[in-house]
Amino acid sequence: MHDLVIPGMIDAHVHLREPGATHKEDAFSGTAAALAGGAVGVLDMPNNAPPITRTERFAAKQALFATKAVADYGLFAGSDGSHLEQVLAMAPQAVGLKLYLDETFGDLRNREPRSLAETFEAWPGPGPIAVHAESESIRISLDLARRYGQHVHICHVPHPDELLVIDAARQAGVHVTCEVTPHHLFLSDEAVARLGSLAQMKPPLVSPADLELFWERLDLVDLIATDHAPHTRAEKASAEPPPGVPGLETTLPLLLAAVDDGRLTHERMMALVYTRPLEVYGLAAPESEVVIDLSQGRYRLPLEGYHTRCGWSPFAGLPALGRVAKVTLRGQVVWQEGKLLAAPGSGRPLERVADRDRG
């Protein structure tokens, strides 16, 4: 088999832990892992410690990424319902606003109906409001988007039946987009018996039958985003393991194997990991190229050898196809044969289409 050449993927949902938990990952190791996995752009979530709910925290995080990132990035603003004026002031620079309506890692939360309504009413864009929302909270989010004419993006859809709810809202005129994670497509809740806390995340894995329904309803999904959420092995082995799994380096070979199996077309895969992530967030594609070596055929994902600081993968052992041989970003070779060739700080904020068109 020959090489496959694609533009670099855009991963619209990652947690690179910078600042606050850089023993798990940081802007450098996380963006290096992105390049290793064939992604040249990542959108980073605001559930840092402290959470990115204030302009000066947003500016400090921007400065850290500016000196450390080796891939391009967009940063989310966050809100806990307080200091709305600060949240709105982050809007022009943020890739979107992230709201956590349900429990997950960290303490960034906002589920108070009044402040949610105020936030949905006031958010000026241009980025969408992305939500961590399960069941009832998805309905609340859809209702708020309809009421205030906002674009709401439903992160990591927890269950395939929610895709029907989201689609019904879309048909009714709500501006809604959504994403599914690779772990919900490639790992069922049977993995929890095998892997314990290494297979625990929010929202949790679904049954094998529901996993199949995710595949059957993939047409209703805008994009695939990893929700790359690294925690150390020691943290995962602790009495109260934090939820979350890494995914930056395994998504492309898993999807290529799925394409090989006829589960989706190559074109559909590219829409899910490249075209739609850019469109949903209104971003311009950085000029890039990923060369994928297919010469070794199918293989199983390894237990080790990852570039994410956490060093493990819940996908180890799963069928995979293709290895990232070379990544070029803005004309520079940034990754080749397992080696990083980009200098820290060479990653740039992803540009908005509107700004690029303006020149």
> Contacting ligand DOR (CB under 6 A), which of 53, 79, 104, 197?
104
For residue 75, state whether it binds ligand DOR (rule: CB under 6 A). no
With CA atoms as reference, report the closest residue to 342 among 11, 28, 24: 28
The count of residues interacting with ligand DOR (CB under 6 A) is 12
For residue 199, state whether it binds ligand DOR (rule: CB under 6 A). no
For residue 47, state whether it binds ligand DOR (rule: CB under 6 A). yes
> Contacting ligand DOR (CB under 6 A), which of 14, 70, 229, 254?
229
Work out how close the CB of 198 gets to ligand DOR at its nearest, in angstroms, rounded to a whole number.
Answer: 12
**Residue with Cβ nearer ligand DOR (7 or 106):** 106
Instruction: Tell me the three-class secondary structure of 106-171, residue by residue.
Output: CCCCCCCHHHHHHHHHHCCCCCCEEEECCCHHHHHHHHHHHHHCCCEEECCCCCHHHHHHHHHHHH
For residue 159, state whether it binds ligand DOR (rule: CB under 6 A). no
CA distance 134 to 202: 9
The residues with which 129 forms a beta bridge, in sequence order, are: 97, 152
- The SS3 of residue 295 is strand
Quote the tokens at residue 87.
């949240």
Instruction: Give CA separation, 253 vs 16, 42, 158, in Å.
Output: 21, 18, 23
Work out how close the CB of 205 gets to ligand DOR at its nearest, in angstroms, rounded to a whole number.
Answer: 11
For residue 15, state whether it binds ligand DOR (rule: CB under 6 A). yes
For residue 183, state whether it binds Zn ion (rule: CB under 5 A). no
> Contacting ligand DOR (CB under 6 A), which of 86, 89, 91, 105?
105
Residues forming the site for Zn ion (CB under 5 A)? 132, 227
Residues forming the site for ligand DOR (CB under 6 A)? 15, 47, 104-106, 132, 201-202, 229, 242-244
